[in-house]
Structure 1
Amino acid sequence: MFGVYVHVPFCTTRCGYCDFNTYTPGELDMAPVAYLDSLARELELASGPPADTVFIGGGTPSLLGAEGLTRILTLVRDNFGLAPGAEVTTESNPESTSPEFFAALLDAGFTRISLGMQSAAPGVLRVLDRMHTPGRAVEAAKEARAAGFEHVNLDMIYGTPTETDDDVRATLDAVLSADVDHVSAYSLIVEEGTAMARKVRRGELPAPDEDVYAHRYEMIAARLEDAGFEWYEVSNWAKPGGECRHNGIYWRDGDWWGAGPGAHSHLGDRRFHNVKHPARYAALLAAGELPVAGEETLTEVERHTERIMLGLRLREGIPLAWVAEAGHGVVEKHVAGGLLQHRGDRIALTDAGRLLADGIITDILVAEEA
């Protein structure tokens, strides 16, 4: 499979936990139409087969409106083509959507909507500096479904400082009332350089707690799985047929072209990324150059490491044959400890192993290097 990722760098405000390559109006003097013109130049210079998946992320892609997002999809279709049955996703902020917005996207050829909910608890949203009202994400999800979207995702964040178990329960209640077929739930990461990291360092917010993360993950997993969702990646649950095919390309060592400021691409053993600042991005394209800031040729060892790191997070696991002989002892240790299981010629995480996935993966990779 081949995917196209398009990065939209605009946000109305900056959330306190976010370290993505995004810019508020006060930080960036670039109109959306100028960004779209630059993106058009990049996609004209790009190359690849027809796209099996397209994912427009950010930032806040919905700030471009249905017209801007439709133009992006047209550019991808004109320069790459779309494979039959292609999955086409856009991320959206609930506050910048409407029934008319979703209807226009469906008409344009979008097949999947991903909404940033994060939490249904007003206090948690305030700590995260999220601007949407607590009930708006559910309303937006229902509007997308009413417009005809079969596939709708809600993103949750858990482990926010000050969050309680009741906050998580309320968020899960809201998620399950929204009639979506996909839920992503990520533990909060306090990234260096963010406003939240500064508050934690000053003692204004408590630092994240690993035991709390584990407890909240178990709460989320149990509730979603009782409601008919199946986990297919450690942080992602879907109803049958609702899995995100685009993210599957990342997890299964597929190829994709990343367009837009700061976007990363992966083609075979070649990886490259664009310059981050939109002004520099636009200037290079205006000069007829691809806006590449750096690239590398991945060694087979590096690709092997990434296959283990990403593949073992999937419910399907990985072939045992991928693990070097030196790592088999560690695999069997974790099988005996109930964290890994054999499934034919594959190994996969158990439910208990999902809580310790990163440590298990590290153990295997360290043993292989010994």
Structure 2
Amino acid sequence: MPSALPDGEPVPDDGSLPASALPSPTTAVDGDPSGRFYDAYDAASRPLGFYLHVPYCATRCGYCDFNTYTATELVGSGGVLASRDNYADTLTDEVRLARKVLGDDPRPVRTVFVGGGTPTLLPAADLVRMLGAIRDEFGLADDAEVTTEANPESVDPAYLAELRAGGFNRISFGMQSARQHVLKVLDRTHTPGRPEACVAEARAAGFQHVNLDLIYGTPGESDDDWRASLDAALGAGPDHVSAYALIVEEGTQLARRIRRGEVPMTDDDVHADRYLIAEERLSAAGFDWYEVSNWATSDAGRCLHNELYWRGADWWGAGPGAHSHVGGVRWWNVKHPGAYAAALAGGRSPGAGREVLADEDRRVERILLELRLREGCPLSLLKPDGLAAARTALANGLLEADPFAEGRAVLTLRGRLLADGVVRDLVD
């Protein structure tokens, strides 16, 4: 089942935020036009994005603990309100709530990311209508990045063409692996070769930016299996690849299978080897890493929406269980689609809890997130003990020397393999 929500203070019924979190309606928005570099404390320069969560899946993958539901899991639990048939209308209600809460915010929306679940279980017209609600309420930046995730088996050329005509310009396909036996362990239902075909169909529909998601370290996967997956992904011609180490989450079917001894657990050394293989294959194909788990063929190919998360920008997460952040206030919605829909139908915010981040919290989060980026994090964020740890990391070959001399902590390849440990040392 999906993981539990954090604790927090109650969200007001109207969803209102402290005035300090909101930019002034008279403030000119003149931040970096790429949306990539800005002062996280300056509301006028922070980009605004939207995440739209679609919580439906045809089946539940054995490794997944996301807030998703199959049709059978919603039977008898508010199914009418939680129906896929009226979900676009329900989510549009939250977009309108966001407009009321953010008031006369002068910023057009810079990024929209539709995730899940499987967003493409909904008709393409519904996704376009959800995007249209954001355009109507807030306006979209002229060069807004608009992404949806997609299951390879849930789209066809006509569907992709309708998305593109409706304003989507980036798409992310869940490939995970090119090997059938690996997909079987993950409980993925698509057939090998279908994700690669989807890339060609997306290109034909006019999508300029296409991502393939890969997972390494699945029980039973060999180095050759992983190389084959990378080669298949690269052969398809995306301009972005995400490669994540499999994390076995408690409460998932995969965790239960490992506990029963049905499949082996993959150790950290294997994960490290697979990461090095990914870096070798991807860099040879013209991809550069820009975040520990993400590679792109150019700056334009980077996922700007995810960069908003990593750089502490503002985003509104609409949908069951979605998380939001505006001006140092973080909140999260109720998880169940029925409860989510009921709150909005009753004129209430679906927020389940929130927290107002102190300056120290925001400093630590900047280190945690920015250190994972190719540009790294400013050494000025570090306290004396953290700076001493950074010097030790530099001496141990975990941080690059030239950026360090210029005042930034940037991970080396070896540092990326040990990123979690480096971060812990720098925030202490």
TM-score normalized by the length of structure 1: 0.97
Which of 237, 248, 270 does residue 190 from structure 1 map onto?
248
Pairwise mapping of residues 136-285 of structure 1 onto structure 2 (< 5 A)? 136-240=194-298, 241-285=300-344
1:36 match: 88
- Measured after TM superposition, the shift of residue 208 of structure 1 is 2.1
Is 1:60 aligned to residue 118 of structure 2? yes
Distance across 2 between alignment mates of 1:355 and 1:140: 31
Q: Which has the larger displacement, 84-93 or 342-351? A: 342-351
Q: Percentage identity across aligned positions?
A: 58
Q: Tell me which of the two structures has the higher relative contact order, counting C-alpha pairs closer than 8 angstroms and 6 or more residues apart.
A: 2
| SS across alignment from 2:71 | coil
Offset of 1:123 from its aligned partner? 0.2
Query: Structure 1 segments of 4 or more deviating over 4 A?
Result: none
The alpha carbon displacement at 1:358 in A equals 0.5
1:21 aligns with 2:39: no
Describe the SS at the equivalent of 2:185: helix
Following the alignment from structure 1 to structure 2, what is the Cα–Cα distance between the partners of residues 302 and 33?
40
Residue 348 of structure 2 corresponds to: 289
- Cα distance in 1 between the residues matched to 2:407 and 2:358: 26
Could you tell me how far 1:327 is from its partner in structure 2? 1.4
Matched residue, 2:410: 348
**Which of 353, 365, 386 is 1:327 aligned to?**
386
Distance 1:266 1:76 in 2: 17
Instruction: Determine if contact 2:88/2:127 at 8 Å carries over to the other structure.
Output: no
Shift of 1:147: 1.3
Correspondence for 1:308 among 343, 352, 367: 367
Q: What is the alpha-carbon distance in structure 2 between the residues aligned to residue 364 and residue 356 of structure 1?
A: 13
8 Å CA contact retained: 2:372, 2:419: yes
Does residue 73 of structure 2 align to residue 11 of structure 1?
A: no
The alignment partner of 2:123 has SS state of helix
Aligned residues: 366
Q: TM-score, normalised by structure 2?
A: 0.84
3-state SS of the aligned residue for 2:161? helix
Q: 1:207-249: CA deviations, max 9, x gaps?
A: 1210000000000111000100000000000011200000000
**Shift of the alpha carbon at 1:326?**
2.3
Deviation of the 1:36 alpha carbon: 1.6
Separation in structure 1 between the aligned mates of residue 206 and residue 92 of structure 2, nearest angstrom: 29
Alignment of 1:49-88 (within 5 A): 49-88=107-146
Structure with greater proportional strand content? 1
Instruction: Give the Å deviation of 1:325.
Output: 2.0
Deviations 1:56-108 (A, max 9, x none): 00000011121111111111111221111100000000001111111111111
Q: AA paired with 1:361?
A: V
Gaps of 5+ in 2: 1-46
Q: Distance in 2 between matches of 1:17 and 1:117?
A: 14
CA-atom RMSD in angstroms = 0.9
